Structure 1
Amino acid sequence: MTRFFVRTAAARDLPAISALLAETWHATYDGIYGRERVDEITASWHSISALSPRLTRPNSEFIVADDGALLGGMAYAAMDRAKKLISLHQLYVLPSCQGQGIGRMLLEEIEAAFPEGERLRLEVEAENQQAIGFYESAGFEPAGTNTQHSSFSGLTVPALIYEKRLD
């Protein structure tokens, strides 16, 4: 098994992160949204120009799991300091690297990056049972629902909100 380590994302990582997101989105969402829609989403949301501002956003953490040759996963979170609420916006692991503990390593680093945080919140696609199982096994509990409106053909996507209290 390859040894991955977690580090801060850098500008040189953005092409690999964009490719990682495209691959994981196709593996996860082609069956839900269709390949064409996933192509549209990844071209917009996961482009280098869309990812780049995250490198310098205040109160955020943008990290990758690296083995020296491959980025096996990535995560991005930001904190609302007034509410002591950390929002996990992304956590993705390449399909070929899943089951190696990379997701847990990324999640632990996000939690450690915001020591004053009291809650960690995320939204997950209601049909993404693999992700839901992962988050529940990591201590997250259902905390509501949200309806996301996509600019891609006006699609409304139900998302489940999960939260974990941090002690």
Structure 2
Amino acid sequence: MFVRTAGDRDLAAIRALLVETWHATYDAIYGAAKVTEMTDQWHSIASLKTRLTKPVSEFLVADDGKRLGGVAFAESVDGGKLVVLKQLYVLPSLQGRGIGGMLLDEIIESFPEAHAIRLEVEEQNSRAIAFYEANGFVRSGDVGGHAGTLVYRRPLIG
């Protein structure tokens, strides 16, 4: 797998990857019908397409030349000092092979002025939490008004 910037031609494959990954991850937490509703709204082609041109952001895919194995999206806020990781997903069949780490590393390298990276994760998503903790993230709080959503943060060398 190699990591590259996402493009228009990737949108259908990104959507398929997100739908598969979300069902594998969240069906047991939210139920399949709710996950379908969420992915139809959040991961529509139109919604994903807006990310391609969003300022101060990075939209990446992990690609082996035949299929996409992972996707990541992050944006810079607070004058470039903070990176907010909005998405990092790897196909369930490819998890544990270093793809998530490659995507995370490339996201961090894309924002050399940043002092920290922040993300939110569902508290029942133990695999994601273990991944982020193994990659230097520390829990820094909860999201107000969203029971079950945890905030993790990692300082970066600017």
Tell me: CA distance 1:19–1:147, structure 2 relative to 1, closer, same or farther (3 Å).
Answer: farther
In the alignment, what sits opposite 2:143?
146
Superposition misfits of 4+ residues, deviation over 6 angstroms: none
Work out the CA distance in 2 between the residues paired with 1:71 and 1:83: 29
Q: Secondary structure at the match of 1:51?
A: helix
Residue 147 (structure 1) shift: 3.9
Structure 2 spans left out of the alignment, 5+ residues = none
Q: Secondary structure at the match of 1:82?
A: helix
Deviations 1:68-126 (A, max 9, x none): 00100000000015260000000000001111100000000000000000000000001
1:10-89 superposed matches below 5 A: 10-82=7-79, 84-89=81-86
Deviations 1:17-72 (A, max 9, x none): 00000000000000000000000000110010110010011100000000000100
Provide the alpha-carbon RMSD of the alignment: 1.0
| 2:13 paired with 1:7 | no
Deviations 1:129-161 (A, max 9, x none): 00000000000001110045xxxxxxx542100
Structure 1 spans left out of the alignment, 5+ residues = 149-155
Asked if structure 1 preserves the Cα contact closer than 8 Å seen for 2:80 and 2:113, the reply is: no
| 2:155 paired with 1:165 | yes
* TM-score for the superposition, normalised by structure 1: 0.92
Q: Secondary structure at the match of 1:100?
A: coil
Work out the CA distance in 2 between the residues paired with 1:49 and 1:117: 29
Asked if structure 2 preserves the Cα contact closer than 8 Å seen for 1:120 and 1:163, the reply is: yes
Work out the CA distance in 2 between the residues paired with 1:81 and 1:106: 22
Asked if structure 2 preserves the Cα contact closer than 8 Å seen for 1:141 and 1:164, the reply is: yes
* TM-score for the superposition, normalised by structure 2: 0.97
Question: When the two structures are aligned, how many residues end up with a matched partner?
Answer: 157
